[in-house]
Amino acid sequence: MNLLLFTDSDRVEPGKIELRGRRLQHLRQVHRATVGDTLRVGEVDGLMGEGKILEINDEAAVLTVSLHQSPPAKLPLCLVLALPRPKMLRRILRGVAEFGVAELHLINSFRVEKSYWQSPVLDADTIREYLLQGLEQSRDTCIPVVHCQQRFKPFVEDVLPALVAGRRALLAHPGDYPPCPHNVAEEIVLIMGPEGGFIPYEVEQLQQAGCEVVSLGPRILRVENAVSSALGRLF
């Protein structure tokens, strides 16, 4: 935890917060924090700054906080991702927050197993928890917006046109396509399918919606590695 995040509900009075649960445990066991220690803190969807520990015990930690620093800017990117299996989704959610992705759309695909949409990982509170873990790692406070789109065709026809308006839309897909661009200076919509890629019908629909198909190379990567590779190339 490189940034201790809190919300307005943690405030006990102006300039003072009280922490319990996981964050208290982390302070005690990982930071080995004691009274007088100063830590980096940030308010969720707000500013960052410093917090000084006034009290800490088995029940709670009380800190004074001073916030004066804006969080780092988000990437000029909207990520569209075919829903991966739950175990991988956990890592991707953390990674998305770490990289600074502002918006994530999880979509359906022929190769996405129906059972994935029933996973408890898709519970709003669970998604939020993994995103917060990514923000804590990367020292950011702004939670990415996550949308779940369970039907492919309505997404392509009704949602995607608004997403790509005024942006460059890239579909990262295995095959003999132009390489993914490097160091872009424009807003991007990046679309990535399941491992093995979208089926031909889906690729055609995405192309008709304005997406240009690009390649990340000859190897078939795991989705989480493909996401990291693509973001590293683009930005």
- Residues 86, 64, single domain; the answer is no
pLDDT, position 195? 82
The amino acid at 27: L
CATH (domain of 226): 3.40.1280.10
- Residues 126, 229, single domain; the answer is yes
pLDDT, position 121? 96
CB atoms within 10 A of CB 75: 19
Q: Of 63, 68, 65, nearest to 33 (Cα)? A: 63
pLDDT, position 63? 97
- Residues 125, 194, single domain; the answer is yes
Element (H, E) at 190: strand 188-192
- Residues 147, 39, single domain; the answer is no
Range of the domain at 162: 77-234
pLDDT, position 220? 87
pLDDT, position 120? 96
The amino acid at 29: Q
Single pTM value for the model: 0.92
Q: Of 33, 69, 31, nearest to 50 (Cα)? A: 69
- Residues 59, 173, single domain; the answer is no
Q: How many domains does the chain have?
A: 2
pLDDT, position 15? 94
Q: Which residues of the chain have pLDDT under 70?
A: none
Cα dist. 85→103, 159, 198, 231 in Å?
A: 20, 23, 15, 20
